[in-house]
Chain A
Amino acid sequence: MTPFLYSQGLPYAWAWAIATIVEILLIALPVMLSVAIVIYLDRKIWAAMALRKGPNVVGPFGVLQSFADGLKVFLQETIIPAAANKALFLIAPIITFTVALLAWAVLPFAKGAMLADINVGLLYILAISSLGVYGIVIAGWSSNSKYPFFSAMRASAQMISYEVSIGFILICVVLWSGSFNLGAIVEAQRGFGLFGLINGFWCSPLLFPVWVMFLISSMAETQRAPFDLTEAESELVAGYQTEYSSMAFALYWLGEYANVLLMCALNATLFWGGYLPPINLPVFYLVPGLIWLILKILFGFFVFSWVKATVPRYRYDQLMRLGWKIFLPLSLAFVVVISGYLMLTGHFA
């Protein structure tokens, strides 16, 4: 977009600034809108699996339910507890929401179409996702209340534990694609499996188990069921959100779903071939890449909702055991096995 504005006679600095702002809006606004739709989808899927109807009153089939909820929450009063640390209490939900939107900057939406085409894209995503824990920890501490505090402790331990195995899983992908750049990772999946017929790392027998681990770890990382121990209502009321009301609460709600969407997008980009069609035949390339990416993200989200609707919540010690005693050694072993296999087959030559 910058070259276009530059050719229209704007100075380069202005062209760059305007183009960047427009591109940010082009990514952030659809993401926020899709968060609202995805919340509706989540409730519908969950209802269907419980043989209920779900939201069906506001708008046709209830599609406007999320917007009605948003409006309601927006008009409510913001209550700040008297003993809370006021500044931090208000900053915390903003951190969660901002961080959830920041990581979208490096995701490729089509070939070469990303906001920031940086060489360390995957590291950037790791860095940003490791910030997500601050929103929760600060909320837990600044609320000056016991349940949020316990929840914050759980959240930080949980997210740090699963970040370790996610790091190793990402290393497997990086080893195979030879780049930290997400665009290059997607391109490395072109014609990857089944004699060049399938796009996507998932169909390799070595990377398929890694993908399963990534899916489960990303559920733990986003604190979705069955790993939603930070807001386990039977133990912690609503966890770190207990003292929040009105817009601050809505920001957590949006941030949480934006994070889930981001994890689905990462899953699609790293293992399912991103904007590439799932099958490497010319016919499938007629559909635009963005549509394939959205379909893959929605599929990932369906899996998330499916798991939420069917799997009971983990106990805290089971969660820690899964993270440290199963996923950490397994993912480390896969790093060794995959790098050994790649050396053996002369992948790096």
Chain B
Amino acid sequence: MIQAIAFYLFATMMITSAIVTITARNPVHSVLWLILAFFNAAGLMVLVGAEFIAMLLIIVYVGAVAVLFLFVVMMLDIDFSELRGGFIRNAPLGLLLAAVLLGELVFGILVSSAGDLHIAKAATVAATPAGLSNTAAIGALLYTRYLFEFEAAGMILLVAMIGAIVLTHRQRGDTRGQNVSKQVARRPQDATINLQPEVGKGVQL
């Protein structure tokens, strides 16, 4: 009973906020509605018993990705009415994309209900083996059966990160960076001299 109420609450909230995300006029509002959609998705994950995935969804998407979205949207002063100008021209392409996505979704559901394709399934059928927490089960699978896939994914992310840094980093010759260890190592004796000049005579520095 209470699960059903929670499911319909999360599901309707999620669909509503997803719709508002694409219809909202203000891009910042869009991002905030997107965050609400993420939240409800996490709620649905908790309902199916995948609490680890739910928490990761919030930490990664709400805590990091959406913050960066918000950052960019706030910093860039995008004129969205200008972007909307090409709506009619791009509508057929958008409809085509939507149709392809819908077709793939239906196809995917049909294939998975047909069953018995062993590529995507773990050796054990149950999502979580009995007596093992969700997190431990995922960890055990990731670090044994899917170790190489896991490492490959990590490698790809690392390369992507380094690539982004290399692409955006430029070394400018005319700036002077701060050498912290040099600053810390500097003593008063290196920087100052103590003179006691006689009256009427100048000081030669």
Does A180 reach chain B (CB closer than 8 Å)?
Answer: yes
Q: Identify the closest chain B residue to A126 (Cβ).
A: B59
Does B94 reach chain A (CB closer than 8 Å)?
Answer: no
- Name B70's contact: one of A118, A126, A137, A321 (CB within 8 Å): A137
Question: When the two chains form their complex, are residues B67 and A133 in contact, meaning their CB atoms are under 8 A apart?
Answer: yes
Does A120 reach chain B (CB closer than 8 Å)?
Answer: yes
Using A134-B35, A160-B64 as known contacts, say yes or no to A321 and B59 having CB atoms under 8 A apart.
Answer: no
Complex Cα–Cα for A305 and B2 (A): 45
Does A98 reach chain B (CB closer than 8 Å)?
Answer: no
Does A13 reach chain B (CB closer than 8 Å)?
Answer: yes
Contacts of B55 in A (CB 8 A): 120, 123-124, 126-127
Question: When the two chains form their complex, are residues A130 and B64 in contact, meaning their CB atoms are under 8 A apart?
Answer: yes
Using A13-B2, A120-B55 as known contacts, say yes or no to A138 and B32 having CB atoms under 8 A apart.
Answer: yes
- Chain A: interface size category: 20 to 34
Question: When the two chains form their complex, are residues A118 and B51 in contact, meaning their CB atoms are under 8 A apart?
Answer: yes
Contacts of A163 in B (CB 8 A): 63-64
Which of A88, A123, A124, A156 has most chain B Cβ within 10 Å?
A123
Question: When the two chains form their complex, are residues A131 and B62 in contact, meaning their CB atoms are under 8 A apart?
Answer: yes
Complex Cα–Cα for A160 and B2 (A): 36
Contact count A vs B, C-beta below 8 Å: 64
Complex Cα–Cα for A133 and B63 (A): 8
Question: When the two chains form their complex, are residues A141 and B28 in contact, meaning their CB atoms are under 8 A apart?
Answer: yes
Does A77 reach chain B (CB closer than 8 Å)?
Answer: no
Does B12 reach chain A (CB closer than 8 Å)?
Answer: no
Complex Cα–Cα for A321 and B133 (A): 38
Question: When the two chains form their complex, are residues A153 and B71 in contact, meaning their CB atoms are under 8 A apart?
Answer: yes
Complex Cα–Cα for A138 and B28 (A): 9
Question: When the two chains form their complex, are residues B56 and A123 in contact, meaning their CB atoms are under 8 A apart?
Answer: yes
- Name A120's contact: one of B28, B52, B64 (CB within 8 Å): B52
Complex Cα–Cα for A137 and B58 (A): 17
Rounded to whole Å, the gap between the CB of B80 and the closest CB of chain A is 16
Rounded to whole Å, the gap between the CB of A310 and the closest CB of chain B is 19
Q: Scoring B residues 1 to 30 as 1 if CB is less than 8 Å from chain A, else 0, what string do you get?
A: 110000000000000000000000000100
Question: When the two chains form their complex, are residues A127 and B59 in contact, meaning their CB atoms are under 8 A apart?
Answer: yes
Question: When the two chains form their complex, are residues A156 and B71 in contact, meaning their CB atoms are under 8 A apart?
Answer: yes
Complex Cα–Cα for A266 and B67 (A): 24
Contacts of A123 in B (CB 8 A): 52, 55-56, 59
Question: When the two chains form their complex, are residues B67 and A137 in contact, meaning their CB atoms are under 8 A apart?
Answer: yes
Complex Cα–Cα for A3 and B165 (A): 56
Complex Cα–Cα for A149 and B55 (A): 29
**B93-110, CB < 8 A from A:** none
- Name B58's contact: one of A127, A141, A152, A160 (CB within 8 Å): A127
Contacts of A141 in B (CB 8 A): 28, 70, 74
**A99-123, CB < 8 A from B:** 118-120, 123
Contacts of B133 in A (CB 8 A): 119
Q: Scoring B residues 68 to 95 as 1 if CB is less than 8 Å from chain A, else 0, what string do you get?
A: 0011001100000000000000000000
Question: When the two chains form their complex, are residues B32 and A156 in contact, meaning their CB atoms are under 8 A apart?
Answer: no
Contacts of B2 in A (CB 8 A): 13
Complex Cα–Cα for A118 and B55 (A): 11
Contacts of A119 in B (CB 8 A): 51, 133-135
Rounded to whole Å, the gap between the CB of B51 and the closest CB of chain A is 5
Question: When the two chains form their complex, are residues A127 and B63 in contact, meaning their CB atoms are under 8 A apart?
Answer: yes
Complex Cα–Cα for A20 and B56 (A): 25
Q: Identify the closest chain B residue to A17 (Cβ).
A: B2
Question: When the two chains form their complex, are residues B178 and A317 in contact, meaning their CB atoms are under 8 A apart?
Answer: yes
Contacts of A118 in B (CB 8 A): 51
Does B180 reach chain A (CB closer than 8 Å)?
Answer: yes
Contacts of B180 in A (CB 8 A): 321
Contacts of B134 in A (CB 8 A): 119-120
Complex Cα–Cα for A152 and B28 (A): 14
Contacts of A127 in B (CB 8 A): 55, 58-59, 62-63
Complex Cα–Cα for A120 and B58 (A): 13
Rounded to whole Å, the gap between the CB of B104 and the closest CB of chain A is 31
Contacts of A160 in B (CB 8 A): 64, 67
Rounded to whole Å, the gap between the CB of A94 and the closest CB of chain B is 13
Using A13-B2, A120-B51, A160-B64 as known contacts, say yes or no to A130 and B58 having CB atoms under 8 A apart.
Answer: yes
Q: A127-B58, A141-B28 are known contacts; what are 14 more A-B pairs with Cβ within 8 Å?
A: A119-B51, A120-B135, A127-B62, A130-B62, A130-B67, A131-B58, A131-B62, A134-B70, A137-B67, A137-B70, A141-B70, A153-B71, A153-B75, A163-B63
30 CB-based A-B contacts, threshold 8 Å: A88-B28, A88-B32, A119-B134, A120-B51, A120-B134, A123-B52, A123-B56, A123-B59, A124-B55, A126-B63, A127-B55, A127-B59, A127-B62, A127-B63, A130-B58, A130-B67, A131-B58, A133-B63, A134-B67, A134-B70, A137-B67, A137-B70, A137-B74, A141-B28, A141-B70, A153-B74, A160-B64, A160-B67, A163-B64, A317-B178
The 9 closest A-B pairs by CB, nearest first: A130-B63, A123-B55, A127-B58, A119-B133, A127-B59, A120-B55, A120-B51, A127-B55, A141-B74
